[in-house]
Amino acid sequence: MLELFDINQNLPLWLLIIANIVSILMLAKGGDYLTQGASDIAFRLKINPIVIGLTIVSVATSMPELFTCLSASLKGSDDIALGNILGSNLGNMGLIMGVTAIMMPVVIPRRLIMWELPFLLGVTIVFFLLCAGGALERHEGILLLITMAAYLIVIIRYEKDDHSSDSEEPVSKSTVLDSQRSSLPKCVILIAIGGVLLFIGSDLLIDSSVATAKKFNVSEIIIGLTVVAIGTSLPELATCMVAVMRKESELIAGNIVGSNLFNTLFVSGAVSMYSGQLSVDHGLLLFEFPAMILLTGILWLFFITERTVTRVEGVLLVISYFAMISLAFFDRQGYL
């Protein structure tokens, strides 16, 4: 990846803060453009909203993670790359799903409970086992990519069956008219602009984040789990907020689950395949990985109970997220 910026820890703090903010805004806007373009194309093609959330939207909103992790790995910052993946998954399930449920209880389609959540939990455990050796090797990354491809093929192949099976369930209706959707040429332009913003923003975010971590003597893993993860997860948050206003419940749940699947399978797989190896800090295996598995299980439990994530459960998810991130920070900084 091209070196676009020359940012180091010797720069003034105010300049590093501005660089971080600008990069996050670029990623958020780039992800927003990409998501809008991709989702509007999908809606015009009359694809099932659940499938859109699980595939088109989740892939588009996870592009910041992909660009950022590739940039981090190629610059030798594997801790930021892996911290970003784990932090984004934790943030999607705890922070974003929690905040969304507090705003509007999220009704969960039966297929997510029966298929996607168990699959996500299994994939998360396999991901942990693959990383347990201290690194995610290229051939293991290829295996993850093949699994992601197979999953997408199955989703698309059985889209019509899924739609007919969900027709008996309460389905939230979109309040967005076809006339309010972007035209196909505009969608293509939005996707192109989004891609450019993601490329530039990811490069700037990694350079400014590494410089900030060195300046304050903070672990790169913590930077990846917090600043980078939250920054790259803004498109998921924005998409869920828009879905709340449009009352598109399937899009919310599908986006969260699909984004985590995409981060775990495609982002980690692509990074390890492209760079040859993704190094895994031993400390992540002791806390962050188990925390991600635990939170996935908790989310599945909330999905099963009355097939709705209630406001109370949303509060519990947010509390769980901040508790896990706080424990990780204090442990990494030697306070525990």
Which of 181, 166, 156 lies closest to 47, judged by CA? 156
Q: To 5 degrees, how large is the angle CA 177–CA 182–CA 183?
A: 110
Element (H, E) at 48: none
| Residue 180 pLDDT | 61
The pLDDT-based confidence of 258 (bands split at 50, 70, 90) is confident
The pLDDT-based confidence of 305 (bands split at 50, 70, 90) is confident
| Residue 168 pLDDT | 44
The pLDDT-based confidence of 194 (bands split at 50, 70, 90) is confident
| Residue 166 pLDDT | 47
Which of 292, 230, 213 lies closest to 28, judged by CA? 230
d(CA 202, CA 197): 8
Count Cβ atoms below 10 Å from residue 17 Cβ, excluding itself: 12
Residues 260-304: pLDDT tens digits? 999 999 999 999 998 889 999 999 999 999 999 999 999 999 999
Residues 134-188: pLDDT tens digits? 999 999 999 999 999 998 888 777 765 555 544 444 444 444 445 566 787 888 8
251 in Cβ contact with 108 (< 8 Å)? no
Q: How far is CA 153 from the centre of its chain?
A: 20
Which of 108, 84, 104 lies closest to 240, judged by CA? 104
Average pLDDT in the 118-146 region?
95
Residues 23-39: pLDDT tens digits? 888 877 887 787 778 77
d(CA 292, CA 124): 8
| Residue 314 pLDDT | 96
Residue 5, pLDDT above cutoff 50: yes
For the chain, counts of helices (H) and of strands (E): 19, 4
User: Is the whole-model pTM more than 0.85?
Assistant: no
67 in Cβ contact with 202 (< 8 Å)? yes
Residue 315, pLDDT above cutoff 70: yes
The pLDDT-based confidence of 1 (bands split at 50, 70, 90) is very low
d(CA 174, CA 243): 9
Residues 214-226: pLDDT tens digits? 788 888 889 889 8
Contacts of 104 (CB under 8 A, 6+ apart): 244, 247, 249
| Residue 272 pLDDT | 95
Q: What radius of gyration, in Å, describes the C-alpha atoms of the chain?
A: 19
The pLDDT-based confidence of 74 (bands split at 50, 70, 90) is confident
Q: Phi, psi at residue 277, to the nearest 5°? A: -165, 140
| Residue 130 pLDDT | 96
Greater model confidence, 317 or 329: 317
The pLDDT-based confidence of 14 (bands split at 50, 70, 90) is confident
> Helix or strand or coil: residue 15?
helix
Which of 34, 112, 90, 99 lies closest to 67, judged by CA? 34
Structure tokens at 4: 């676009």
